[in-house]
């Protein structure tokens, strides 16, 4: 299955920032125990590259992407390590070009119509709506989605199990991203994820 389709299918993209690589295995094991076979590992800490490498080597069946990718160097590093998708908080032409050249889905962050038009110009049809809670949440997604029916959104920032049902019920929402899925210890992560999976399946 196409990577974007897999993301749509899982509906959940955990945004993970590792402080050290010892956290990688327990966190990914907990996500898997919670039936969430995906992780966006952020380039926000020193160990990001090593964490991505470890994740890709040890969890070949997980959909591992890179997040907070803000420049060409990070994009190339992530692609060389074998990430399946790349997410940015905004749009970077350099990151886009690296992804395009390597056939890697790029989900840039947007909040305005102009940014969506730029994404469309680049052939992008799924964008990260970030920070969703701050920029109007579902109300904004509905308004933007009405103007741009060809675009789907991955709201991120302020999503949790309390508002997830409303987001995923909206046909303009491709998937939801966020760090709420990886908060707490392994048991807590597993339970939050199992609950989130129930919500996305409408159970
Ligand atoms: C991101 O970069 O995607 C956000 O930090 C995630 O936001 P959240 O922590 O509110 O989920």
Out of 128, 152, 172, 190, the active site residue is 128
How many CB atoms sit inside 10 A of residue 165's CB?
A: 13
CA distance 83 to 78: 6
Q: Look up 128 and say whether it is catalytic.
A: yes
The minimum-distance atom of ligand 1 relative to the CA of 89 is 2
- Tens digit of pLDDT for each residue in 106-140? 999 999 999 999 999 999 999 999 999 999 999 99
CA distance 177 to 132: 10
CA of 86 to the centre of ligand 1 (A): 15
Query: Any idea what the CATH number is for the domain that residue 87 is in?
Result: 3.20.20.70
- Tens digit of pLDDT for each residue in 44-100? 999 999 999 999 999 999 999 999 999 999 999 999 999 999 999 999 999 999 999
Q: In what order do the strands lie in the sheet with 38-42?
A: 106-107, 86-87, 63-67, 38-42, 12-16, 176-178
Is there an atom of ligand 1 within 6 Å of 15 CB?
Answer: yes
**Per-residue pLDDT band at 13 (split at 50, 70, 90):** very high
CA of 163 to the centre of ligand 1 (A): 14
Give the chain's largest Cα–Cα span: 45
> Domain span at residue 21?
3-201
CA of 15 to the centre of ligand 1 (A): 6
Q: Please tell me the residue having the least CA distance from ligand 1 atom 4.
A: 157
Q: Which residues contact 29 (CB under 8 A, 6 or more apart)?
A: 186
Q: Look up 40 and say whether it is catalytic.
A: yes
Total structural domains within the chain: 1
The minimum-distance atom of ligand 1 relative to the CA of 159 is 11
CA of 137 to the centre of ligand 1 (A): 13
Computed on alpha carbons and rounded to an integer, the radius of gyration of the chain in Å comes to 16
Nearest to 55 by CA among 14, 90, 8, 112: 14
Instruction: Specify the pLDDT at position 150.
Output: 97
- Tens digit of pLDDT for each residue in 178-198? 999 999 999 999 999 999 999
* Bridge partners, residue 65, by sequence: 40
Q: Please tell me the residue having the least CA distance from ligand 1 atom 11.
A: 178
Give the residue-averaged pLDDT of 2-24. Answer: 98
- Which of 15, 74, 89, 164 to mutate to test ligand 1, by most ligand atoms within 8 A of the CB atom? 15
Its pTM surpasses 0.85:
yes
Instruction: Specify the pLDDT at position 1.
Output: 82
The phi and psi torsions of 171 (rounded to 5 degrees) equal -70, -15
Give the residue-averaged pLDDT of 11-30. Answer: 98
- Tens digit of pLDDT for each residue in 133-160? 999 999 999 999 999 999 999 999 999 9
Is there an atom of ligand 1 within 6 Å of 179 CB?
Answer: yes
CA of 75 to the centre of ligand 1 (A): 19
């Amino acid at each position: 299955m196409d990577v974007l389709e897999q993301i749509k299918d899982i509906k959940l993209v955990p945004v993970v920032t590792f402080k050290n690589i010892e956290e990688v295995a327990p966190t990914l094991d907990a996500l898997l125990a919670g039936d969430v076979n995906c992780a966006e590992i952020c380039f926000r800490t020193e160990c990001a590259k090593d964490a991505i490498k470890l994740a890709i080597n040890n969890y070949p069946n997980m959909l591992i992407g890179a997040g907070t990718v803000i420049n060409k160097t990070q994009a190339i590093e992530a692609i060389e390590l074998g990430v399946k998708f790349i997410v940015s908080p905004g749009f970077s032409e350099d990151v886009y070009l690296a992804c395009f050249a390597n056939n890697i889905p790029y989900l840039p962050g947007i909040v305005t119509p102009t940014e969506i038009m730029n994404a469309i110009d680049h052939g992008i049809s799924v964008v990260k709506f970030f920070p969703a809670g701050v920029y109007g949440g579902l109300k904004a997604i509905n308004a933007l989605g009405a103007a741009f029916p060809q675009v789907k959104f991955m709201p991120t920032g302020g999503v949790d199990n309390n508002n997830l049902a409303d987001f995923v019920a909206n046909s303009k929402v491709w998937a939801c991203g966020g760090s709420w899925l990886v908060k707490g210890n392994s048991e807590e992560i597993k339970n939050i994820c199992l609950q989130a999976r129930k919500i996305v399946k409408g159970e």
